[in-house]
């Protein structure tokens, strides 16, 4: 089951030009998306924003405002950061047209996805990119000039529109025609097997992506990894590429290893419990 448009939120970090926000709102509206957020900016309240938001005033009126990106992405299961150029600190980098397949593989275990767009002049800082789980860009003929903010929002909205509404590519449903039903329509249909609505609120997954991500981080911490270690970061990058089936296997593995560590701790005397990955080295030094 494809994710529906209401599960996506488009976040603009410190936009400086009101018209860009208005044009972004129009782009989202034409592609069936409704959720727009801004970080540390009020330019969407200026009259100029409405000049380019034809038919999309409702999106501007309901813009979600946040003081920081960290606050804006809170509660998101997957945070996708956009960048005009590949950052050296990240090995995995997805093109915009790769996102529908990536999102589709995670559909059963995510409920909210955030797409983050940086400032018109400087994009996202490295610290802000660090809050993102996946990094993506738009291939261009030339590196300069780069796309306008609203143009970039339009391209991503189009790619995810194709996914959410099943238009060619992901799902292979072909072009939208008179008889085509969107993902939103399908969620309203009763299931032929049960007579209830399609999987979702009535048939939740056993786990969600955030839960699994936290389990992996916790286990790596117990193994002595620090979040600044190159290997730690590489493992987390590859984690984001997992599909739904592999994610279930990883969760089972984390659970089993965690239980084994707990049993090992319980057999030790007080004060001898495993410490975060350093217990073996400490015992060798003591010996």
In angstroms, rounded to a whole number, what is the distance separating the alpha carbons of residues 123 and 126? 10
Contact status, residue 183 vs residue 166, Cβ threshold 8 Å: yes
Digit-coded pLDDT (tens) for 51-94: 999 999 999 999 999 999 999 999 999 999 998 777 655 567 88
Specify the pLDDT at position 226: 80
* Pair of tokens at residue 31: 């592609």
Contact status, residue 49 vs residue 17, Cβ threshold 8 Å: no
Contact status, residue 27 vs residue 153, Cβ threshold 8 Å: yes
Q: How far apart are the first and last CA of the chain?
A: 57
Which strand ranges, in their side-by-side order, compose the sheet holding 113-117?
64-66, 36-39, 8-13, 113-117, 78-82, 134-137, 94-95
Shortest CA distance to 32 belongs to which of 164, 179, 189?
164
| Distance set, CA 136 to CA 34, 132, 162, 223, 263 (Å) | 22, 10, 17, 30, 42
Contact status, residue 116 vs residue 11, Cβ threshold 8 Å: yes
Specify the pLDDT at position 27: 95
Structural element, H or E, at residue 117: strand 113-117
Contact status, residue 265 vs residue 128, Cβ threshold 8 Å: no
Give bridge partners of residue 115 from the DSSP assignment: 10, 80
Question: How many residues comprise the chain?
Answer: 287
Digit-coded pLDDT (tens) for 96-136: 999 998 888 888 888 899 999 999 998 999 899 989 999 99
Residue identified by tokens 């590196």 is: 143
Specify the pLDDT at position 269: 55
| 251: phi then psi, degrees, rounded to nearest 5 | -60, -45
Which residues, at least 6 apart from 14, have a Cβ–Cβ distance to it below 8 Å? 38, 39, 40, 41, 119
Contact status, residue 109 vs residue 77, Cβ threshold 8 Å: yes
Sequential DSSP letters for 219-260? HHHHTT--TTSHHHHHHHHHHTT--HHHHHHHHHHHHHHHHH
pLDDT band at 8 (very low <50, low <70, confident <90, very high): very high
- The better pLDDT of the pair 22, 209 is held by 22
Q: Is the per-residue pLDDT at 280 higher than 70?
A: no
* Pair of tokens at residue 211: 């839960």
């Amino acid at each position: 089951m494809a994710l529906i448009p209401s599960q996506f939120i488009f976040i603009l970090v410190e936009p400086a030009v009101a018209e860009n926000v208005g044009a972004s709102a129009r782009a989202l509206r034409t592609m069936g998306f409704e959720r727009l957020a801004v970080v540390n900016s009020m330019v969407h309240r200026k009259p100029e924003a409405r000049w380019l938001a034809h038919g999309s005033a409702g999106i501007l009126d309901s813009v979600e405002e946040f003081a920081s990106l960290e606050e804006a992405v809170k509660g998101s299961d997957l945070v996708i950061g956009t960048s005009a150029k590949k950052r050296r600190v990240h090995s995995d980098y997805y093109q915009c047209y790769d996102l529908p397949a990536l999102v589709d593989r995670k559909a059963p275990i995510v409920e909210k996805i955030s797409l983050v767009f940086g400032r018109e002049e400087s994009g996202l800082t490295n610290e802000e990119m660090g809050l993102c789980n996946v990094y993506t860009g738009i291939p261009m003929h030339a590196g300069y000039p780069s796309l306008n903010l609203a143009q970039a929002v339009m391209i991503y909205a189009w790619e995810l529109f194709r996914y959410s509404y099943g238009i060619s590519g992901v799902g292979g449903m072909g072009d939208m025609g008179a008889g085509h039903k969107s993902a939103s329509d399908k969620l309203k249909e009763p299931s032929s097997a049960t007579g209830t609505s399609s999987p979702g609120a009535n048939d939740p997954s056993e786990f969600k992506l955030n839960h699994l991500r936290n389990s992996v981080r916790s286990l790596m911490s117990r193994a002595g990894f620090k979040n600044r270690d190159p290997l730690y970061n590489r493992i987390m990058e590859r984690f984001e590429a997992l599909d739904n089936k592999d994610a279930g296997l990883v969760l089972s593995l984390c659970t089993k290893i965690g239980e084994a560590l707990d049993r090992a701790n319980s057999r030790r005397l007080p004060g001898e419990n495993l410490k975060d990955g350093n217990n073996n080295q400490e015992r060798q030094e003591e010996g």
